[in-house]
Amino acid sequence: MEAYLAAIAAIALIYVLLSLGLTLHYGLTGLINFGHVGFFCIGAYAAAILSTTGGMPIVVGFVAAAVLAGLAAWPIGLVSLRLRDDYFAIVTLGFSETVRLVVTSERWLTNGVQGIPGIPRLFEGLGVGMPSALAILGVLLAVNAAAVWLFFRLVKSPFGRMIEAIRDNEEAVRALGKDPARFKIRVLMLGAALAGIAGAFYAHYIGYIVPDQFIPLVTFYVWMAIIMGGVGRISGAIVGSLLLMLFLEGSRFLRDVVPFISAVDMASVRIGAVGLALVLFTLYRPQGLMGDYTRR
């Protein structure tokens, strides 16, 4: 039971990193990013390839994951950030699917649909039991704490006030002589780098990655986390990610209540339960759990 709870906690902390990146994109800057999983995929494969085929230290893989995911966001921003929000959302969704098709087809690099097995786990020297699990949780907590601290510093800085102004009124920012596209590209790269780090943690924690782990549903889960927690709030990203894990893992035990549902059908029931929760939050708590109680 302890190992199961530790695994759920580790995945939840990885989702917190993803949620913080998407909060930076949408909550603070107003960028509708439907392709967040693409940066997550780039980070996971970069870390996995360097640590297995390349034989590089794990730390190098983490740095490469952040850098490559951030650089992948640069051309997207350069091409599409001058488009309207809905077109930008379509471009990012297409980007994530393109990334997944690339890692599926480029077998010489990614091993195609068979994926990359044997990815070294963090703290392998401590064994497979609770000591290594607790060490991984400690590192994830430290990285999340650092990300939250940097997030707070960013929000309180002139750069943070500028991107919030872009979210609220982009035309007014242009009238002040500022270039919103330049700020948007930086924000997109920062959020993508955070997703890349989350991908590196995911690869080294799971130990095996395949393209089917990086479908658009992952982006939907992250969107649901920030909507439930509160869009544009750091606490919302954290609470929303934890609540998402509660929904996803808690729904696994529905078979104890409704045993007549098969294991195959239970997957659809879980998605339905998550979708119902999102609808209810949208109707009755649109500002999220950590949002402003005076605003709807």
In a domain, 219, yes or no: no
Mean pLDDT of 197-215: 94
Q: Which two tokens stand for residue 21?
A: 């990146």
- Within 8 A by CB and 6+ apart from 201, the residues are 14, 17, 140, 143
**Where residue 71 falls among pLDDT bands split at 50, 70, 90?**
very high
User: Considering the chain, what is the average pLDDT of its residues?
Assistant: 86
**Where residue 94 falls among pLDDT bands split at 50, 70, 90?**
very high
Cα separation, 206 vs 130, in Å, equals: 15
* 263-272 confidence digits (pLDDT tens): 667 767 777 7
In a domain, 246, yes or no: no
Determine which of 20-29, 170-179, 286-295 has the lowest per-residue pLDDT on average: 286-295
Among 71, 22, 70, 4, which residue's Cα sits nearest to residue 241?
Answer: 22
In a domain, 184, yes or no: yes
pTM assigned to the model: 0.91
* 103-143 confidence digits (pLDDT tens): 999 898 999 999 999 899 887 766 666 778 888 899 999 99
DSSP string, 114-165: G-B--PPPTTGGG-SSHHHHHHHHHHHHHHHHHHHHHHHHHHHSHHHHHHHH
* Domain that includes residue 162, residue range: 2-214
In a domain, 283, yes or no: no
In a domain, 28, yes or no: yes
Confidence at residue 204, expressed as pLDDT on a 0 to 100 scale: 92
In a domain, 288, yes or no: no
Cα separation, 201 vs 10, in Å, equals: 9
* 272-289 confidence digits (pLDDT tens): 777 787 788 878 887 888
Among 224, 231, 261, 214, which residue's Cα sits nearest to residue 246?
Answer: 224
In a domain, 133, yes or no: yes
Q: Which two tokens stand for residue 42?
A: 């780039």
Structural domains of the chain, count? 1
In a domain, 286, yes or no: no
* 236-250 confidence digits (pLDDT tens): 899 989 888 887 777
Q: Which two tokens stand for residue 205?
A: 């924690």
For residues 177 and 222, which has the higher predicted lDDT (pLDDT)? Answer: 222
